[in-house]
Structure 1
Amino acid sequence: MTGPIADAVDALMWQAFGLMLVIVVPVIALTLFIAWRYRASGGSGTHQPDWDHSRAVEITVWGIPVLMIAILATWVWEKTHALDPYKVLPGAKPLQIEAIALDWKWLFIYPELNIGTVNELAFPVGQPVTFRITSEVAMNSFMIPALGGQIYAMAGMETKLNLQANETGTMQGRNMQFSGDGFAGQTFEALSMSQDDFEAWVSKVQDSDTPLDHATFAEVRKPSVDAPVRYFSTVPPDFFSKRVAHFMGMEHEMMHGTKAANE
């Protein structure tokens, strides 16, 4: 894992694991001890047939788990708010990237750079990234496991995710929500680069001969399995917002048509 979100999640998992060992290890040890001490063939434990209650045992078997749950709940509550996916990460101005889930590929748009890609995502190391995420098809779930975080993508709706990479390298991103025949191949490369390498990558995308216009998008939108990486030199203004509004408009038209039909 690499990045502040991934590091925080990793730390929380190890904290929870360590805390649970406080219960698990003694329980396993005591189980073995009691089985040996009170064994039928010569155990040294005292047989007390009239014993039915011990306040010390009750406090131990109920009090310790309640305390552990309270500690875990506090940690999770704090991290849930601290790691809110909509919360912009501190530091430099975030790079804005818009992600649109398709069958079975991802379309990425860089609105500030006026470029787009299919199944390849790049960003400078150490710079926060703010994702706006939606879907053109069935529900998907966007995730780059090495950076942490997972958030759903739904048609006609926008969700957000803020991530950052602290090391350069190539990571895999994917759709985590089953979405049909091409689900297994719906992956993309996430490239964490130095600033110079990122600027060179942007220049390479801008040199592409293909703009992302409505005709190109209609082609890209068609279902395809294991789609290759594609670059788009320009993107129409507010393309992402218009795709979200497109589905909202369809819903409005359907509701309006139903109402008119009823009238």
Structure 2
Amino acid sequence: MNPSGDIAAQQAQLIVTSTVLMLLIIVPVIVLTLVFAWRYRQSNTEATYSPDWDHSTRLELVIWGAPLLIIIALGALTWISTHKLDPWRPLERIDARRPVDPKVAPLVVQVVALDWKWLFLYPEQGIATVNELAAPVDRPIQFRITSSTVMNSFYIPALAGQIYAMPGMETKLHAVINRAGVYDGFSANFSGDGFSHMRFKFHGLSAAGFDRWVEASRASGEVLDRGLYLKLEQPSEREPVRRFGRVDPQLFDAAVNRCVDKTKMCMGEMMAIDAAGGMGKGGLAYLERKPWRDGERSFVAAAACTPDNPTGASLPAAAATAFTDATARN
């Protein structure tokens, strides 16, 4: 409730405002419950006794009108805050007094939840870290978040609310840190045995301090390529902080598409095949024409039923081409 980032500060204020609005009903109800219990106790013979009373228009208006007004206020507050604090929405301000300078580009941080550690990639700086995150004070941050295997939740309470990390998907979070310091980050979603130790430190640094941190990471000399990522992806607990001076620039997109291992087809490519008609005419033609990543070509064994292949046995590449030509003629 005393965060150091503007988004988290707005969320804290939203909690306070909502609580106060609800207390406007809760407190009077509690007080009146005690007053009525005391005033109309059995031993108080001076209290008004009206056994046939059953209705009061003014009382009904108060009983239903006041909560209705509170609900309307909470609904309006929720509607506005839901859009204003949307994690995907770029920041409009640094804090309550300063708008975002349109000339300042946000710091992009690519986040991958591994079992059971966090990998942070800095595409602009060309570095990566494990279980350590840093950003300059008062500079907008754009987090691009995914997971390698199961769902996790990326959460730095002092910075902003939690956002899920899901395999095969990319979520986003925009935030800014306003005070220098070291803050706790962790996964807020259970993801297996090592979940309890899936923690990291977030460093809010001055601009000069962040530059020094980047240079120190580059000095490590270690290169994070696809092969090392596949080793890092294996489950491990209490992973120490690691820094990588160079990173494969396509690594994050490959992690999102679940094809860091080059023997696997990327999800984007698979969806393109489906969009072209699956393994029918359009799909097989797509496989033949597509210039595949890294100068390579990938082939998928086709199991298509034709008059000459009624059982749908696997077709070699040449047969797949013949099948495409045959279906075109038909």
Fold shared, TM-score > 0.5 on shorter chain: yes
**Structure possessing the higher relative contact order (Cα contacts under 8 Å, 6 or more residues apart):** 1
Give the 5 Å matches for 1:104-143.
Answer: 104-143=116-155
1:237 matches 2:249: yes
1:209 aligns with 2:226: no
Q: Where does residue 48 of structure 1 map in the other structure?
A: 50
> Matched residues in 1 for 2:58 and 2:121: separation?
63
Deviations, residues 126-185 of structure 1 (Å, cap 9, x unaligned): 001000000101011111111122111111111110010000001111111110001111
Q: Which runs of 5+ in 1 are unaligned?
A: none
* CA distance in 2 between partners of 1:121 and 1:221 (Å): 18
1:72 maps to what in 2? 74
Contact 2:221 2:246 in 1 (8 A): no
Structure 1 residue matching 2:53: 3-state secondary structure: coil
Q: CA deviation at 1:200?
A: 0.6
Listed one character per residue, the Cα deviations across residues 189-244 of structure 1 (whole Å, up to 9, x for unaligned) are: 01000111111100100000311012221221110111110000100122111221
Relative to the length of structure 1, the TM-score reads 0.94
Measure the CA separation in 2 of the matches of 1:31 and 1:258. 74
Shift of 1:245: 2.1
1:98 maps to amino acid: Q
Between 3-12 and 106-115, report the one with greater CA deviation.
3-12
Task: Tell me, in whole angstroms, the C-alpha distance in 2 between the residues paired with 1:41 and 1:5.
Answer: 56
Distance 1:8 1:259, change over 3 A: farther
- Per-residue deviation, 1:259: 8.6
Give unmatched runs, 5+ long, in structure 2: 93-99, 260-264, 280-299, 306-311, 313-330
Give the letter for the 1:197 counterpart: G
1:247-258 alignment, distance < 5 Å: 249=266, 252=270
Moved more, 6-15 or 244-253: 244-253
Task: Identify if the C-alpha distance between structure 1 residues 102 and 43 changes in structure 2 by more than 3 Å, giving closer, same or farther.
Answer: farther
SS of the residue aligned with 1:97? strand
Deviations 1:46-101 (A, max 9, x none): 11111111111211111111110110010011011011111111323100000000
Shift of 1:261: 7.3
Q: Which residue matches 1:30?
A: 32
Matched, 1:225 2:237: yes
Counterpart Cα distance in 1 of 2:210 and 2:234: 29
Q: Distance in 1 between matches of 2:212 and 2:258?
A: 34
Larger Rg: 2
How many residue pairs align between the two structures? 263
Q: Which residue is 1:19 aligned to? A: 21
- With over 3 angstroms needed to count, the CA separation of the structure-2 counterparts of 1:165 and 1:44, relative to structure 1, is farther
Match of 2:83 among 74, 81, 84: 81
> Is the 2:111–2:144 contact (alpha carbons within 8 Å) kept by the matching residues of 1?
yes
- Distance verdict in 2 for CA 1:43–1:135, change over 3 Å: farther
Identity among equivalent pairs (%): 46
Paired residues of 2:226 and 2:251 also in contact (CA < 8 A): no
User: Quick one: structure 1 residues 44 and 166, their matched pair in 2 at CA, closer, same or farther if it must change by over 3 Å?
Assistant: farther
Q: Distance in 2 between matches of 1:261 and 1:172?
A: 54
Q: What secondary structure is seen at the aligned counterpart in 2 of 1:223?
A: coil
Partner SS for 2:18 = helix
SS of residue in 1 equivalent to 2:247: coil
How far apart in 2 are the matches of 1:44 and 1:125? 67
Contact 2:130–2:242 (8 Å) recurs in 1:
yes
Q: 1:57 aligns to what?
A: 59
Check whether the contact 2:225–2:251 (CA below 8 A) recurs between aligned residues.
Answer: no
Contact 1:37 1:43 in 2 (8 A): no
Q: Structure 1's 46 and 260: CA in aligned 2 closer, same or farther, altered over 3 A?
A: farther
Amino acid across the alignment from 1:190: F
| 2:174 alignment partner, SS class | strand
Identify which range, 185-194 or 90-99, moves more after superposition: 90-99
Tell whether the 8 Å contact from 1:98 to 1:108 is kept in structure 2 after alignment: yes
**Whole-angstrom distance in 1 between the partners of 2:303 and 2:198:** 41
Alpha-carbon RMSD across the aligned residues, in angstroms, is 2.0
